[in-house]
Every structure is written in C-alpha cells, then in structure tokens.
Chains A and B, each alone.
Chain A
C-alpha cells in the first residue's frame, strides 16, 4: 500500500539548541500530486523539507522514500534518490554563467559545450517557459530569473520528487501562472511535488492536498477541494489579522522626489532604465509594480545615490542630486530598503545594535565617538516596536533568522524619520503578520507626511496601500494609475509587456 507514496515521513522531531522546529510531524507525498506545506514563517516547513533533502538529520522519526525505509544522509544522497529541493534563497554561484550552472548539473555535459547545453535545455525552454539567457552571469540576473535557473537545475538532474521552498515569493503574478503550468505538467507526468508557501490563494490554486504546520506541529492534512481560505488561515495562524487599509487622510503635499527622463545602466552595461519620469509627493505611497529584472533595482539605486545615472535628472526636495553620494542623500532624509535586504542591508558579523545604526551611524556620533547609550536606546526601541526576535542587543546579527533581519532593516529605515523612503520588495519573504505590520508602518509614515516610493511585485500589496501605481516593463513606465482606476487585469497585462 505504501508503494503509491513517493515519500512517507513519520514522527519527525527536530530540535535546535533551544527551539523545537518539528515535533512528531507526519507527512506523506504521493506520486503525481502537488502537496502544499502551509504555515507561517518559523512554522517548521523548511526544516521538515531540509530533513527530507538530507541537509539536516532528524532527532527522531523515520523516512520512507519510494516505499523503502531510508536515512537520507546528504543532499547528494537525496539527489540520487530523485529528490531535489529549490531553496527560497537561491544557492547559486554569482560568478558563474547560467550555462556553467546547468553543465554542472548534468552528467552528459563533461566539457562546457554551448551546443550541448542548448540541446539539453531546449525541451525545458520550450515546454516549461523557463527561458533564461545562458550566457548571463548569475549576479546579473533578477530574483525571478535566478528562480528559473534553480528550477531548471532540478529538472536537469532528473529529480522525480521536487521540493519548492516559497517558489513564488520572487515571481510576479504572470510568472506564477507560468510556474503553475509547469508544475501541473510535471504532476500529470507522475512527478511528486512539495510546494512550501504561506500564501493561501496560491496554495488553494495549485495543490491537491494541503498540510498545515503551526509552531512545529502538524495541524491537519486536507484535500484542497475541501479547503477554503478562511479555514486555512485559521488553521495556520489561529486568528486572521485584519488587513491594513489605505485610508486617504489628508491630500498629498508637495513633490519630494522628481525624476525626469532618467536613463540608468545595469551591471552588464546595458540600459536598464530608459527615460523614466515621475514624481513622488509628500504623504503619498507611489507604487512601481513590475516583474523582477525590469530595471527596478537600477532605478532604486540611482535614486538612492548608489548608481550614477547616464542621463536625466533627479530632484530630491527640490535640489538636483544626480551624482550626490549616498551619504548626502541619507543626510537629507532618504531612507532605503534594498532588494533582499536581509543580505544587502545588514552585516551578519556585526551585532544587532551595530546593525540598527548601520546606515545612520553618523547620527549617533559626537566628536568622532559613537554614543553607546544612544545606540542601545535606539536599538531597543526598534526591537520592541517591530517585534524583532533577538536574544539581545549585542549578539551577532547572524543569530537572527532572515525574516527578523529583514524586519531589522525595515525598522531602521522606517524609524529614521525619512522625507522619502525607497523600498524594494520590503515584504517579500515575510510572513502574513509581519507583512501586514510593515504595510501598516508604511501607511503610518505616509500619514506623518513622508513620501514612499514602493517597488513591489505583489499586485495585492500595490492595490492595498499605494495611492498611485506605475507599471514598469523593460525599464520604461507603461502606465500610471490612481488607486481608484487601478485594475488588476490591466496591470497584469502591462506587466507582461502587452501594450494597451
């Protein structure tokens, strides 16, 4: 009877020094099904799957793969068993090209021959809409493109059991649809797929069965056909948080940021932003929505003073700031949450307190000395106000989880009393309550009169809190909507590059 199961996990328990990540969890995965693992951040979804993938060993419990009791010793062992895992935070080597990565995954390509790799991936490119520039280096790719490479890798390795950890967290709605098409096809061909997510809608749409984890314990396994969002949310968090609403308070004020026909290059030297013009007013959230890799990062970096524009003008609080350094802009009140901020805007080797002043340390300085008491007070208030889980102010930031690091960045930037906040996907990867809280905080600083330039890939988020929404595609703005006239379908099409 167990033959129909690809994977059977029984009584899995895993403790990390002080926390119990999994407690007596049962999980089974059938051939030809998509089984969603649903739960908030820290519910133990990833831990359970890392155990299956052989990355960590369980303290207790048994694993059966293809009906046979197995101890999965290592990821390479898992791969030999036909299990492949695509991690949420990509495990790619920045300096290698896409072709080199794919060649590494294939036993057929012994020497790096472009033609062979092209043959190898042609099928996937065509059937699964996973086309990626083979010659691009990983560091040049957007989060969305990296995801595609990861999925290609797993497919090339010939995995029959595919574990996807939050696969949609960096994809746009259209890319998600593409991904779902791929997953359906794979399922119909007998692949077994685990889909880890905390997004209810996606889980309901894609999966056959749903297992819900909460605080390391399994709550239930139910067929998707019998599930509905409200029950799932209740099972997942216990209580459903009420979403923040953008109540238009006072009308927005003067322009805090003006961008005039701006051109910015990407790292490869190509034009990433072509002729963008817009302005952000005080007390408004201006959303820029688009698929990853359409120039958002370059535009944000140019505005933050980290990337010199090729052409065009940026006015911040009425003053031309092209070529001003990041310090000058920060001093004038520009806060910046970059993409993947848990990596790009914190230093894991520094303490929590040090990270809490990372971009504003010069504000805590007197006669060249950093005022320790001020810093501690500040760090404490951030931790408290934003619910950051840390064992203290002076522990290294690397002891925090990715989500908490991200919250630390958000806390630091939002609390810096900015005139303008530039944020790139600030809620990507956060759980429901943390995302909701972040959005509330964005609305809060907006109400206090700050301008917010929010880059997002999440249409729901844009519709929920933005006052105006621009769609970015291949470096240009494709349309500008006020919130009242914003329309999901129109925006989706524009994001895909369809001219209306």
Chain B
C-alpha cells in the first residue's frame, strides 16, 4: 500500500476564506471532545462563550478592548509575513512598547499635560517596539541570521526586562512588595468609552492602521516590493528590490504597531507596568493566528481579531462558570492554527491511498 500526495489541479474550489472559517469550526468541534472529557457539555460551553459573552455590555466591551492589541499585532505580522519575514516577536515588541510608555509616564515627564504626554508615550512606545524588531532585522539583513530564532528569543529577553523592572528599580514603594510599578498619573491615561475598558484613541489607531496597511500593501511600490521579495528572494534581486530595505521596513513597521499595542495596554487598561503575562496574555502569539486566518488581508484582520477576542473573553468566563481549566483558550488557539494548516494542505494536495497491484 502506498500513500501518495498529489497536487490538485484546481485550487479554487474552496476560497481561502472558506478554509479559514472551516478551520475555526473544526477546531471548535475538536475542542468539544476535550470539554466532553471534562464532563462539560460543549453546547453549554459554546452557549456561554458566544451567546452569553455577546449578550451583555460587559462582555462586548471586553471583547473590543482585547481586539485592539490583537489587531495591532496581527497587522504588523501581516506586513512581515507578506514579505516572507517570519517575525514571531510581536509579544516582545509589545512589551517593550509598554515599558517605554510606563517609563515616559512615570519618570521621563510625569508632570506634562496630556496633549504632550500621550503623544510622547505613543511615539516612544512605537520607537521602542520598532527598535526591538530592528535588532533581528539587521541580523537577518546583514548576517543572514534566522529571524524566527532571534525574534522568539527576544520575546524572552523582553519578558525578563519587564520582570526586572517590576521586581527591581521600578517597583512601587507603596505596593506591599507586589511586582507592580506605581500607577501612572491621570494625564497619562487614555480616554475610555464610559463604563467600558475600551480606550478610544488606540481603537481609532488600530482601525486606521488596518486601512493604511491595506493601502500600503495593495497600492504602493513598497507593498509591491514586499510581495515580490516574499515570493522569491532571487527574483526580487533581479527585480532590483533591495533585500535590506524590505526586511528592515517590514520588521520596523511590525514592531512599531506592536509597540503601540503595548502603550495602549498601559495607558488604557493597567495604568502601570506589571508582570508580562498580566500585560499581554499572548497577544503577540495570537496575532500570528489572526494574520494567517485573515490570509494576510489587513481588513480581514478586524473580524478575526474580534473572533479570537470573543474566544478569549468567553473562555475566561467558562473557567468560572463551568470550572474548566485555563488551558482551554490555548487549546482553541492551537487547534485553530493546526486545522488551518491541515486544511490548507488538503486544499492544495490530494492524498491517495493506492493498493499495490
């Protein structure tokens, strides 16, 4: 018996979007088996996750609040992935943005008025995130160091820096020894939609960024260069596309967007720096899944960020109501990505089992 893998001649039977949606559904189906193993009814769980979450203001507002950093991270990753630059360091870039925002608000210029302070926080946050991405970008461009490794490793470095700051020099003297900084002054806090944790300016920036990234990728010569390089480094060289430019610009853009997400988390949600997993909760990693589900289409990132936020908020809720372990949300994310990869493969190839004659 031989298992044979053949390329399908017609790839267009299912659109890329069909596959994305199908993979989410399949992931939910597989996850229901796991729930069943925990003796939790999947229908009830999904009812809680989707219907309950989206049927009250509290749930919806938290979904939107989590969509903001997720969308920003995924947009940056779309840019990188389009160029075939495998940045998986959005998590670290976000944290460095958060560090910069906290530093500005607490130490650099705590007395300044809002209209100076907030733009400075955003600018330096973006610069810091961009810088964190520039390191692996230059290593890749100049020395051909694999960016997957360097970006991943720099995530851990960023986490350690945050931990050092909150346990060490930036620890709040009035915090009973908890790993927290002082809270940032009122003028460093972003305006919220009243009664919700949704910070308005960052929401605006993230939606605007979707449109901008879409425009850049579709209409500009920069977008063309990213695309050409993403398909073939060799042909890109022939096409007079600068390799260094593509790598540096895609990474810096991506890092800046993640950095802005970090600023938003500090100035809109937490108002202080705290342990890395409290600040981010894996937005940089979930952003990878969003980017793939949206097929590197920046506009599609909006609904898919929302979807994964619903799953995230919903799973927090069922932890309490149904006593499911925290890992369930990670299972969702992991399953979605696995299903997506498998379905993508099956859409392109056909697996044939041949019984030998």
Contact = CB atoms under 8 A, between A and B. Distances in A.
A359 B238 contact: yes
Interface residues of B, number: 17
B219 A369 contact: yes
A361 interface: yes
A306 B236 CA distance: 11
A365 interface: yes
Given A327-B240, A330-B240, A350-B227, A368 B235 contact: no
A338 B224 CA distance: 21
B242 interface: yes
B192 interface: no
A365 B225 CA distance: 12
A325 B240 contact: yes
B228 A368 contact: no
Interface stretch (A103-111, A276-284, A340-348): A340-348
B239 A361 contact: yes
A347 B222 contact: no
Nearest to A338: B238
B260 to A, nearest CB: 22
B237 interface: yes
Interface in A388-434: none
A351 to B, nearest CB: 11
Interface in A35-62: none
Given A325-B240, A327-B240, A362-B240, A346 B221 contact: no
B234 interface: yes
A346 B231 contact: no
Contacts of B220: 365, 368-370
Contacts, number: 54
A362 B235 contact: no
Contacts of A359: 238-240
B232 interface: yes
Nearest to A328: B240
A235 interface: no
B41 to A, nearest CB: 45
Interface in A361-388: 361-362, 364-365, 368-370, 372
A336 interface: yes
Contact of A344 (B225, B231, B238): B238
A338 B228 CA distance: 17
Interface of B: 219-222, 224-225, 227-228, 231-232, 234-235, 237-240, 242
10 A-B pairs closest in CB distance: A327-B240, A365-B221, A326-B240, A358-B239, A347-B231, A368-B220, A330-B240, A359-B239, A369-B219, A361-B224
30 contacts: A306-B238, A325-B240, A326-B237, A326-B238, A326-B240, A327-B240, A330-B240, A338-B238, A344-B234, A344-B235, A344-B238, A345-B235, A345-B238, A346-B235, A347-B231, A347-B232, A349-B231, A350-B231, A358-B228, A359-B240, A361-B224, A361-B239, A362-B221, A362-B240, A364-B221, A365-B221, A368-B221, A370-B219, A370-B221, A372-B219
Given A338-B238, A344-B238, A370-B220, 16 more contacts: A326-B237, A326-B238, A327-B240, A327-B242, A344-B235, A347-B228, A350-B231, A358-B239, A359-B239, A359-B240, A365-B221, A369-B219, A369-B221, A370-B219, A370-B221, A370-B224
